Chains A and B, each alone.
Chain A
């Protein structure tokens, strides 16, 4: 799996968009970008994944640059319940290969 780099922490005001960046400059052509988050005392939760195109679901949007070397997870209207550690992972198939979780980004959403 390609190495990913994320900021250690970020702050966001409730109701505003949270934009979480991830760098994966060594990603290979068949590796997807996956995002998971972990709320305190819970297991990680799958958010979204993508290969080349931007993706959107009920939780978030994923913007992948054209060269695929970086991506941004967007939570359009952050709530206090979005406070969590967010992990960006680059891998061929997160259900098949062994996942390497980095330190992630601690997102703190404040009132």
Chain B
């Protein structure tokens, strides 16, 4: 079974631009989560999507948004990029049969975004 795939692997953008990152979950997984990882803040939760609906959201400004498609693939978008948005963006998927059940997260290897 293929793992979680994130594209692109590396991205360099200029301050003020916008960027879209893509994530293909493991086949059969319906939940997709996004995390930001920086040396100073560590791994921070951005948002989670399930059946095309955002179910949970972390404490990030509205410039960060996402969506999930009917095939469970997900994209996240960052508008008006700032230097502080430079980070590793990680996508994770899980089977997630329902509340109370257990389904570990499976992470991709991330997109390394550099804002100059």
Could you list which residues of chain A lie within 8 angstroms of chain B, going by C-beta atoms?
30, 32, 34, 36, 41-46, 49, 87, 92-103
**Sample (29) of A-B pairs whose CB atoms are under 8 Å apart:** A34-B104, A41-B109, A42-B109, A42-B110, A43-B4, A43-B90, A43-B109, A43-B110, A44-B43, A44-B92, A46-B104, A92-B99, A93-B99, A93-B101, A93-B102, A94-B103, A95-B102, A95-B105, A96-B101, A96-B103, A97-B56, A99-B33, A99-B43, A99-B105, A100-B45, A101-B35, A101-B42, A101-B43, A102-B42
A3 to B109, CA, bound (A): 26
Task: Point out the residues of chain B lying under 8 angstroms from A30, CB to CB.
Answer: 100
Q: A43-B92, A101-B42 are in contact. Are A95 and B31 (CB under 8 A)?
A: yes
A98 and B100 within 8 A (CB)? no
Q: Is the interface of A mostly helix, strand, loop or mixed?
A: loop
Task: Tell me the smallest distance from the CB of B53 to a CB of chain A, in Å.
Answer: 14
Further 12 A-B residue pairs, CB within 8 A, beyond A94-B104, A99-B33, A101-B44: A34-B104, A41-B109, A43-B90, A43-B109, A44-B105, A49-B102, A93-B96, A95-B96, A96-B96, A98-B48, A98-B58, A99-B45
Residues of chain B touching chain A, judged by Cβ–Cβ distance below 8 Å, are 4, 31, 33, 35, 42-45, 48, 56, 58, 90, 92, 94-96, 99-110
- Residues from chain B with a CB closer than 8 A to the CB of A49 are 102, 104
Q: For A94, what are the chain B residues with a Cβ–Cβ distance below 8 Å?
A: 94, 102-105
